[in-house]
Amino acid sequence: MTPLLTLHAELDRDGTFSLEAWRHPRILFARETCSVQYLSTRAPDHRVSLSTALQEGLAPDGGLYVPERFPDLGPEAFDGCTTIEAVAERLLRPFVGDDSLTDDLPAICEATYGFPVPLREIGRDTSVLELFHGPTAAFKDVGARFLADSLARLNEEADQPLTILVATSGDTGAAVAAAFWKKPNVEVVVLYPKGKVSDRQEKQLTGWSDNVQTVAVRGVFDDCQALVKEAFQDDTWQEHLRLSSANSINIGRLLPQMTYYAHASLQHWRTHGTRPNVIVPSGNLGNGLACLYARECGLPIGEVVLATNENRPVTHLLETGEYEAFESRETLATAMDVGDPSNMERLLHHWPTATALRDTITAERVTDEQIEEQIRRGSGAWDTVWDPHTATAVEARERLDPDDAQEWTLVATAHPAKFPEVVEPLVGRDIDVPEPLAEVMAQAHPVPEIEPDLDALDEIVQWNR
């Protein structure tokens, strides 16, 4: 296939425009805003609508759905969009297009938010984007609420419920459970690795009933994720259930996550006239990929740095040019304990060469000792108490040249109260628990435990059939 040559108007740091020629065989930039379709990472000729991609979760060939192209939306396209809901609707409009959800998009955007997403300046040319003010105090509330509202609308009159399978390393499961709880005609099964999440995360995961079933898996997150993928490709499961996923393997998680990057970058652009660089704590790569997607759409975002814990798939790829899956390592930043990120397949689909990747992202690997040090000194250095995941982004920020005058946005992905056993001894005081978290944890109850085996999971989900 001959790479497409397009001219892309790029905002320079001083606010002027320059034209750059982009050659890339897969990322297509287009001014028109007609409907975007979604193709499989493993079969580019297989294209579906947004509604189909949301409901299938995973493509029939096991690939992940990605947009066939990205609309070209510079800052001027968002003139008059002052709220995050308005920015979300404008950004997502081309991705919805003439899909059956098009008339519902404003209501879906309203349902997705309803809580603040502040961008707070903390000094030293640094801001923090706080994504933990939703119902479960983690960034995944945004994608989960968008997906839940969309799927509930799509399945309102379906003859059979849609069954959502989701693997979680901590925060995803709670966000999905909260978003889908009591939604009509949708059943949810959440798999989490027993003993590999914090006590408060486990209480959030096990505080649900009705249409939400939580299952503890004796293994690591990668075992949970493998079970979900195996179920999607099992003929018996496909025959008896209508399956979808709310993990970031579902494109319906990534698209709404673009919107807070869009809103934050526009805030910064309108105030300072420059593009902020962004540091994103990354495990399964969905949040980082959403930031890259927003930038590809023309939002004023500069460099993107992925901050990882001691798990090495991303840094190893950038260092060697070769992708290798690793056994996941247990760290203080538990939600990032991923040795084989699902979204790596999307990342390598869009940027398939080492050169393209290195031109797109950088990454910093952070140890547990460095996480502890950033939490310990956060109140004094930044007037902020960090959770272990955001602490990786702070460490990456502090590795930068102190004389570099560039502006940086740190992405705060979770509230520190979710990790009291790590945070409170380091800061020397109790962290107040947000009220929604306290309410869910109070409802926690025992859940089934299984080995990471599809037959064992099959026995649990019989109630869905």
Interval 341-354: pLDDT, tens: 999 999 999 999 99
Q: Band the pLDDT of 462: cuts 50, 70, 90.
A: low
Structure tokens at 19: 């034209």
The whole-angstrom separation of Cα 346 and Cα 344 is 5
For residues 108-135, give the mean pLDDT.
Answer: 95
The whole-angstrom separation of Cα 347 and Cα 50 is 20
For 19, 271, 384, the CA distances from 119, given in Å and listed in that order, are 30, 12, 14
More confident residue, 171 or 445: 445
Domains in the chain, please, with CATH?
Answer: 141-250+439-464 (3.40.50.1100)
Q: Band the pLDDT of 198: cuts 50, 70, 90.
A: confident
Structure tokens at 386: 């960090």
Query: Residue 2: pLDDT above 90?
Result: no
Determine how β-strand 162-167 pairs with β-strand 186-193.
Answer: parallel
For 85, 134, 182, 390, the CA distances from 414, given in Å and listed in that order, are 21, 10, 24, 7
For 118, 144, 228, 450, 455, the CA distances from 447, given in Å and listed in that order, are 35, 22, 18, 10, 17
Query: Residue 18: pLDDT above 70?
Result: no
The whole-angstrom separation of Cα 153 and Cα 253 is 16
Beta bridge partners, 43, equal 40
The whole-angstrom separation of Cα 225 and Cα 249 is 10
Lowest-pLDDT choice from 57-61, 82-86, 93-97, 421-425: 57-61
Structure tokens at 378: 């956060």
Lowest-pLDDT choice from 95-99, 160-164, 390-394: 160-164
Sign of CA dihedral 211, 162, 188, 179: negative
Q: Which residue is it, tokens 């975002």?
A: 301
Task: For residue range 257-313, list pLDDT tens digits in order.
Answer: 999 999 999 999 999 999 999 999 999 999 999 999 999 999 999 999 999 999 999
pLDDT at 28: 39
Residue 436 near residue 136 (C-beta atoms within 8 A): yes
The whole-angstrom separation of Cα 378 and Cα 88 is 32
- In one-letter notation, the amino acid at residue 281 is P
More confident residue, 31 or 293: 293
| Buried/exposed 162-178: b ≥16 CB within 10 Å, e otherwise | bbbbbbbbbbbbbbbbb
Structure tokens at 249: 């393997």
Structure tokens at 204: 């959030």
pLDDT at 25: 32
pLDDT at 439: 86
Long-range pairs of 322-325 with CB within 8 A, sequence gap ≥ 24: 322/354, 323/348
Phi/psi-derived region of residue 400, left when phi > 0, alpha when psi is between -120 and 50, beta in every other case? beta
Q: Which residue is it, tokens 């606010």?
A: 15
Residue 296 near residue 69 (C-beta atoms within 8 A): no
Q: Which helix (H) or strand (E) holds 389?
A: helix 388-398
pLDDT at 30: 40
For residues 374-385, give the mean pLDDT.
Answer: 97
For residues 395-406, give the mean pLDDT.
Answer: 84
Helix ranges restricted to H, 241-343 = 251-272, 286-296, 313-320
Determine how β-strand 4-11 pairs with β-strand 17-24.
Answer: antiparallel
Structure tokens at 163: 């069954």
Q: What is the side-by-side order of every strand in the sheet holding 277-281?
A: 119-123, 126-130, 408-412, 277-281, 304-308, 362-365
Query: Residue 402: pLDDT above 70?
Result: no
Phi, psi of 119 (to 5 degrees): -110, 110
For residues 8-37, give the mean pLDDT.
Answer: 41
Task: For residue range 236-270, list pLDDT tens digits in order.
Answer: 898 889 888 888 889 999 999 999 999 999 999 99
Q: Whole-number mean pLDDT of the chain?
A: 89
Strands (DSSP E) along 309-375, which ranges?
Answer: 362-365
Q: Band the pLDDT of 443: cuts 50, 70, 90.
A: confident
Query: Residue 27: pLDDT above 60?
Result: no
